[in-house]
Amino acid sequence: MTVEPVRRRGRPPASEVNPGETLERITRAAMELFAEKGFHATGVAEIGDRAGVQRGALYYHIGSKEELLFQIRRGYTQLMLDAAVAIADGPDDPVTKLRNLIRTHVRLIVEHRHEVTIALRDAGALTGERAADLQILRDGIQRAWQRVVDDGYAAGLLRTNDHVITKSVVAMLNMVSAWYRDDGEYTPDQIADILTTTIFDGVAAPADNK
């Protein structure tokens, strides 16, 4: 998990050998607690206790609990945006791109399912510039997906390019985080294949099969 440093005045506590490692530990502890209990139910002192960081050092590194939430959500959202844009800008045909978008999105959702759980549960916890900055990233993901769908429709490879469909597909994939288990029946790629088939073919049997 990549964590953007929070600029603070002064010097880190003298006992710290590696401030970057300390920030990583704090962020990891916050992510675990937010996923377990929710953002609002988690206290700053709990984060420090789990990270093994004294309160003074904790505030030096994070500034606020909301800043921690922002860093957690921005990190994985940026990864998803970069992946979606790379696929959308690639040389493949639109259908192949859409299949790759689904597979990559599912992989990232599973890999970062704690962060996704936090985003779904505490969607409105961020305010001001932080909320606006995160929305820019999320809009970028949606635009990359929509660009692929629009290209597929223009090429006659997809039946529709309605934004409702595109948004609903992305939302459905996000919800994989709510039920996926490491010891479950399917791997992330197998889940992606099942969902891809369903998205492309639908679930209704052909009329001549009735």
pLDDT tens by residue, 86-123: 999 999 999 999 999 999 999 999 999 999 999 989 98
Task: Please indicate, yes or no, if residue 9 is contained in any of the structural domains.
Answer: no
Q: Are residues 119 and 132 in the same domain?
A: yes
Structural domains of the chain, count: 2
The pLDDT-based confidence of 59 (bands split at 50, 70, 90) is confident
Q: Are residues 75 and 52 in the same domain?
A: no
Q: Are residues 99 and 181 in the same domain?
A: yes
The answer on pLDDT for 162 being more than 80 is yes
The pLDDT-based confidence of 22 (bands split at 50, 70, 90) is confident
Q: Are residues 57 and 93 in the same domain?
A: no
Range of the domain at 58: 19-63
Which residue has better confidence, 62 or 82?
Answer: 82
pLDDT at 204: 62
Residue 28 token pair: 């990891």
Site of tokens 């420090």: 48
147: Cα separation from own chain's centroid: 20
207 CB-contact burial (10 Å; exposed 0-12 / middle 13-18 / buried 19+): exposed
Residue 70 token pair: 């922002």
Q: Are residues 27 and 116 in the same domain?
A: no
Residues in the chain: 210
Q: Are residues 58 and 99 in the same domain?
A: no
What's the whole-number mean pLDDT along residues 46-74? 87
Site of tokens 């990270």: 51
